Amino acid sequence: MALPRRRISDRVVRVVPYLNFALSAIFLLSFHVYAADTLTSDNATLWERLTKGPEALEPLDKVLFAVLILLSFELLDFFSKHSGSWFRSKLIPVRGKHLDELTVKDQLFIGISKAATAPFVYFYLRFAYFEPNVVWDLANLRFANTVAPLLALFIVYDFFYTILHWALHIKAIYGYIHKHHHHQKAPSRANVDAVNVHPVEFFLGEYNHLWTLFLCTRVAQIHILGSLLFLAIGGFLAGINHTRYDMVVSFWGVRIFDSKAHDVHHRIPQSNYGQYTMFWDWVFQSYR
């Protein structure tokens, strides 16, 4: 079954990222040509301020940072939307009602989520900068502190996310927060559908990444590149979960990720609460 034809609001959603790219590119060019190192209190270069840590950043540096995060968000959305066709993945049949028209409330919540992403990443990196067990030196980049911790990060994240997601489905709470996300029964817009959530839910889901990094660095060192891969891969998979593409990641015959699982959740809400993996749903017997 094919998806319904996109309406005007969806066409706007498709155009907005390209406008963001254009405006961001203009701002970045202006910043480097006219303001990079002349509007600071000590005339230090941007690189010098970055190496001194968050306390040395000027307000204009933080604006630049927010623009870069916006660009990164749109890039992740682009890859999530198109990776299924690049890998020639099959389409998941539309069995639930597709939300054709995004309402004003939908657009508002999507905008709030995007705007809240930059402060979250800032606080995430700020914690990583001051955390002794987050390694920043590129000379100490190792498989053991970059790639190896990723599985643990995703497993720990989804433990808390699965419980949070289940709690948001409790009848007394559901109507106030999570019900909004379930207006879409057949997600198709990648990260746009993924971040179309109540601001409280977005806050809890995003800062769970920071909580996860905090817990994992209690027991092991993690390179900053591994910490950033955790966010980037997570954002990509969250987008894939909200497309119609049937994408599966398996290692040695073990299915690690399957986009169909979250699609089932949108149709059958009392199941498949995990975000990135269904491991904890298997444990809690909520997998379908």
Q: Share the mean pLDDT of the chain.
A: 89
3-state secondary structure the chain: CCCCCCCHHHHHHHHHHHHHHHHHHHHHHHHHHHHCCCCCCCCCCHHHHHHHCHHHCCHHHHHHHHHHHHHHHHHHHHHHHHHHHHCCCCECCCCCCCCCCCCHHHHHHHHHHHHHHHHHHHHHHHHHHHCCCEECCHHHCCHHHHCHHHHHHHHHHHHHHHHHHHHHCCHHHHCCCHHHHHHCCCCCCCHHHHCCCCHHHHHHHHHHHHHHHHHHCCCCCEEHHHHHHHHHHHHHHHHHCCCCECCEEEECCEEEEEHHHHHHHHHCCCCCCCCCCCHHHHHHCCCC
Q: 123 or 58: whose pLDDT is higher?
A: 123
More confident position, 29 or 119? 119
Entry pTM? 0.88
Residue type for 169, please?
Answer: H
Q: Which whole number is the average pLDDT over 139-159?
A: 97
State the average pLDDT over residues 157-169: 98
Distances (CA, A) of 163 to 156, 158, 210: 11, 8, 17
In this predicted model, what pLDDT tens digit does every residue of 214-268 receive, in sequence order? 999 999 999 999 999 999 999 999 999 999 999 999 888 788 899 999 999 999 9
Least confident piece of the model among 4-8, 130-134, 172-176? 4-8
Listed in sequence order, the residues at least 6 apart from 43 whose beta carbon sits closer than 8 Å to its beta carbon are: 37
pLDDT at 43: 63
Per-residue pLDDT for 1 more than 50?
no
pLDDT of 177 over the 60 cut? yes
pLDDT at 70: 86
Note the pLDDT of residue 37.
54
Residue 255: phi and psi, rounded to 5, are -80, 110
Q: Report pLDDT for 71.
A: 84
Return the closest-CA partner of residue 185 out of 93, 65, 50: 93
**Phi then psi dihedrals of residue 170, to 5 deg:** -65, 135
Tell me what pLDDT residue 11 has.
Answer: 57
The answer to which of 82-96, 114-128, 161-175, 188-202 has the lowest mean pLDDT is: 82-96
CA–CA separation, 263 vs 194, rounded Å? 12
The lowest-confidence range among 65-69, 93-97, 101-105, 122-126 is 65-69
User: Which of 66-70, 83-87, 212-216 holds the top average pLDDT?
Assistant: 212-216
For the cut 50, the answer to whether the pLDDT of residue 92 exceeds it is: yes
